[in-house]
Structure 1
Amino acid sequence: MRELVYYVAVSLDGYIAGPGGEFDAFPVEGDHMAAQNQRFPDAIPTVIADAMGIQRNGTMFDTVVMGWNTYAVGLPAGMTSPYQHLEQIVFSRTRTEADIPGGHPNLTLTDEGPVDVVRRLKSQPGKAIWLCGGGQLATQLAGEIDRLVLKRSPLLFGDGIPLFAPGAYQPSAFRELSTTAFGSGVVISEYVRQPVTRAPN
């Protein structure tokens, strides 16, 4: 079955963006960049990867899911289809197709429940599904996340969009697969969900 992978940059105090969705404080230079671009080239916006000559190998993701606020970050720069090489699904209960300039055959705006959509995607053949953000969507999909890949930067934001928005208390265990510390100060850790073990009756 396909995995849902929450792959995201996060500050030391647990924020994935500033209060207004800012993410420019995260370092984009340093020895961590080559490693993350090699492991997750499909998570680089299409036009940026093309400009940098980064080849997308399609070995990890073929679909990305995101909330409207995450998607809208690129709109002021004219990035209306940020991941043209992936199937893109944007969740919103208030926006319509009229809010997306131009037509994009591989971008779907939906008001359907994220859990239902992700479970349907998981039941279909394909590669992993990337949960791009944001925190509200991650909370809704917390029970569906199979793998966490956290790029922790040596920064304190103080405020902003958390890795997970507050939600119902539902402890979930993950097992660490790997942690790599880079000279840039960035630490990339990868975790997989632990199977639920139930006590015998």
Structure 2
Amino acid sequence: MRRLVYYVATSIDGFIADPAGDVACFPVQSETLANIFARYPETCPGHLRETFGVTEAPRRFDTVIMGRRTHAPAVAAGLASGAYPHLRQIVVAHQDLPEPSGVEVMGGDIAVQIAELKNEPGLDIWLCGGGELAGQLVDLIDEIQLKINPVLLGSGIPLFGGDARPRELQAVGIEPLPGGVNLATYLTGTQRQE
């Protein structure tokens, strides 16, 4: 079965964006991006792949799921085929959205549809944001990978919004990346190793 992996940047105090939804608050260094894109080349947006010299095929993810607000910057930038045209792109929206080519729009009972998606053949599924969507899917998330940035935001969009309830996770590793970012990995639910 495919795993749903919440792989996202966060501040030390648990926010994935500032109160306006902007992620420019996270410092970005070329060495950090090089490390991240070497690990998961598929997470480099399509319009930046040439700039960063990313040519590799997907290693872990073949599908990306995001909320409407996470998808909005691609729309604002005029990326007709979305930010990740090299992946199957699914935007979760509870309202009508224009459906650009290469992007699927999903509404209704999201949890049921994502559970079905996990049972399809393929690589793992990348949940790249946002916090409200992560809160809705928390029971289906198998792994959480946090790119913890050395910054405190004080407020903003939390890692998990909505109905996320307390739960135990299994910490399986923390790795320092260039630029002061730490990659922390946690397993949830049935993925926990005893």
TM-score, normalization by structure 2: 0.90
- CA deviations on 1:3-49 (whole Å, 9 max, x unpaired) are 00000000011100111110012122054332211111111111111
Partners of 1:48 and 1:96 in 2: how far apart?
A: 25
Runs of 4+ in 1 over 4 A off after TM superposition: none
Tell me the SS of whatever aligns to 1:129.
Answer: strand
Contact kept, 8 Å, 1:21 with 1:73, in 2: the verdict is no
The residue type equivalent to 2:181 in the other structure is: V
Contact kept, 8 Å, 1:91 with 1:112, in 2: the verdict is no
Deviation (angstroms), 1:83: 0.6
What are the residue-to-residue correspondences of 1:179-198 with 2, within 5 Å? 179-195=174-190
Contact kept, 8 Å, 1:147 with 1:191, in 2: the verdict is yes
What are the residue-to-residue correspondences of 1:35-114 with 2, within 5 Å? 35-80=35-80, 81-97=82-98, 100=99, 103-104=100-101, 106-114=102-110
- CA deviations on 1:91-122 (whole Å, 9 max, x unpaired) are 1111233xx4xx41x31112122211211111
Partners of 2:131 and 2:18 in 1: how far apart?
A: 12
Partners of 1:137 and 1:91 in 2: how far apart?
A: 8
Partners of 2:70 and 2:96 in 1: how far apart?
A: 13
The residue type equivalent to 1:95 in the other structure is: D
1:120 correspondence with 2:121: no
Change in Cα spacing, 1:107 to 1:149, as seen in structure 2 (3 Å) is: same
The residue type equivalent to 1:177 in the other structure is: V
Equivalent residue for 1:138, pick from 117, 134, 141: 134
Tell me the SS of whatever aligns to 1:189.
Answer: strand
Partners of 1:91 and 1:26 in 2: how far apart?
A: 24
Partners of 2:109 and 2:162 in 1: how far apart?
A: 18
- The percentage of counterpart residues that share the same residue type is 37
Question: Which stretch shows the higher mean deviation, 11-20 or 106-115?
Answer: 106-115
Partners of 1:154 and 1:50 in 2: how far apart?
A: 28
Over the residues paired in the alignment, what is the CA RMSD in angstroms?
A: 1.9
Partners of 2:191 and 2:42 in 1: how far apart?
A: 30
Partners of 2:139 and 2:181 in 1: how far apart?
A: 27
Question: Which stretch shows the higher mean deviation, 39-48 or 72-81?
Answer: 72-81
Contact kept, 8 Å, 2:136 with 2:162, in 1: the verdict is no
Deviation (angstroms), 1:182: 3.5
Deviation (angstroms), 1:194: 4.5
Tell me the SS of whatever aligns to 2:180.
Answer: coil
Deviation (angstroms), 1:189: 0.9
